Amino acid sequence: MDTFFDPESVAIIGASNSPFNLGATICKTLHEYSSFSGRVYAVNRKGESVHGCEGFVSVMDIPGDVDLAVIITPAEVVPSFVKQCGDKGIGYIVIESAGFSEGGERGRAMQREISETAREYGIRIMGPNCLGVLNARNQFCCFYGIFEDSFDAFMSEPGSVSYIIQSGGIVAVVLESLVKDVVKANKAISIGNKSDVDEADMIEYLDRDDTTEVIGMYLENIQHGRKFLDAARDVRKPIFVFKVGRTDEGSLAAQSHTAGMANNDAIFEGVCRQAGIIRVNSISELHSLPKIFTNMPPLRGRRIAVFTNSGAFGGITADLLVDAGLEMARLSPETQEKLSRTGQIFNVSNPIDLGPALSMQTFMDIFDILLSSDEVDGLLPIPSLWHPMIIDAIGELVKKCHHYRKPAAIYTPNAVYRTVSYREKYQVPLFESPEEAARALQVSYQHHLYLLRRAAEPYPVSGGESVCNGTLRQEVAREEVRTQ
């Protein structure tokens, strides 16, 4: 699978100098925008060079080996190009052309023909009806129609979140949303109709990828349920998924888009629970929630301390946390006494009302008291950004969270555009709403429980017997009862 992401040579079949040619935009990206070091060839009827990429009439005319072919031509000629690639010895193909199994019986027949040819030659195929891959590590990108400013934004800082997405349109939304966040994309894969390479293959690949910390997915159907379950269950990295098709109407829309008959939603929900997959409720959660894993330690308990300058947000977040299956930490008289000595705090019980007049030292003292307390597992801070010092305090809080190994889901009560601007300018992991912050803590704890449950499962020993960690099993049982 590495060849899809790091080829030494690529042939863009269908790239030409005709107006509005999509393959030409891929050549332009790789030759003019990207620092990708591999060789890029254009294949077209005239054999003309395209945006500095040497042109040939056929892949057979290209000297030497070609690692990867990207086919972006009318659907009816794709099968013949796949066979040419097989004759050339090209082992990996991305088919970006549409009009296959999503387009009626003729399209389904062509997709079957492609699959048969691929099996005959031992070719791995991504697509058809996809965008292919983006790899921010080496700036290889075979997405068509990408603009230079977008490319620079996506590639400027490789991140640690990788995405498996069945729709090219969702790829664009997610990548653009990450531009102004503290998390960045590592790899993005658009798998389309999944005639060969599917989400399970990519889960296994990204699990082995040391530069991927979190996996996000947008899916319209699952073709091989057992393969998907087995692949996901073996992964310890957080996996997010948004799956369309919860309703009959959504299922029909998915079928017309990528020929994906959306599976029974109740069954899919059960698979997610078995495999520890975090099912998200919106596309925005695919890009907003990963930072609770990339920028914070895991939440290992349910008890959350809230502190805020606004009594209203204290009540709002208390409701949200309880609805999320978490609980407000009960602070002992001793802890409350420590908090009362830090400054002019209006209320030292949880949620803690900070009042308006606080110094940096007061913030530091509050962070230490709460994070060091055995009564608190995590924080949901809601400080008003009325002074530049508070941004500095948030930066220090992030450091202290790592020191004490407890997370904070930070929300600042501002209009979203202000939160986004602060986050981008100061590179602090701010969430855009109290709902988002509470949800982040919920999924962090959900993933912790899943890992705990997996660690407690019996494992085989010599003699055909199995043993398990009884202490862990008891802890899992206690926590699962408390979250019901």
pTM summary value: 0.91
The verdict on whether omega for the bond into residue 458 sits within 30 degrees of 0, i.e. cis, is no
Give tens-digit pLDDT for 266-314: 889 999 999 999 999 999 999 999 999 999 999 999 999 999 988 899 9
Asked if the domains 1-129 and 296-444 are classified in one and the same CATH topology, the answer is yes
Structural contact between residues 304 and 380, judged by C-beta atoms closer than 8 angstroms:
yes
Structural contact between residues 223 and 194, judged by C-beta atoms closer than 8 angstroms:
yes
Answer CATH for 296-444 from 3.30.930.10, 3.40.50.720, 3.40.50.450, 3.40.50.261 = 3.40.50.261
According to the model, what pLDDT value does residue 260 have?
46
Angle CA 406–407–408, to nearest 5: 135
Per-residue pLDDT at 84 exceeds 90: yes
Rounded Cα distance between 114 and 138, Å, is 30
According to the model, what pLDDT value does residue 389 have?
92
Structural contact between residues 155 and 136, judged by C-beta atoms closer than 8 angstroms:
yes
DSSP run (H or E) holding 171: helix 168-178
Give tens-digit pLDDT for 346-396: 899 999 998 876 789 999 999 999 999 999 999 999 998 888 899 999 999
Tokens for 441, please give them.
């803590």
Backbone dihedral angles phi then psi of residue 413, each to the nearest 5 degrees: -75, 80
Rounded Cα distance between 367 and 31, Å, is 50
Lookup result for tokens 């079949």:
13
Q: Which residue has the higher pLDDT, 270 or 462?
A: 270
CATH annotation of 157-294: 3.40.50.261
Lowest mean pLDDT: which of 17-26, 99-108, 171-180? 99-108
In the predicted model, what is the mean pLDDT of the chain? 91
Determine whether domain 1-129 maps to CATH 3.40.50.720: yes
Domain boundaries, the chain: 1-129, 157-294, 296-444
Per-residue pLDDT at 178 exceeds 60: yes
1: closest CA among 185, 154, 187? Answer: 187
Rounded Cα distance between 196 and 116, Å, is 11
Could you give the strand order of the β-sheet that contains 54-56, starting from the edge strand earlier in sequence?
54-56, 39-43, 9-13, 68-71, 92-95, 124-126
According to the model, what pLDDT value does residue 464 have?
54
Per-residue pLDDT at 257 exceeds 50: no
Per-residue pLDDT at 451 exceeds 60: yes
According to the model, what pLDDT value does residue 261 have?
41
Give tens-digit pLDDT for 201-228: 999 999 999 999 999 999 999 989 999 9
Per-residue pLDDT at 61 exceeds 70: yes
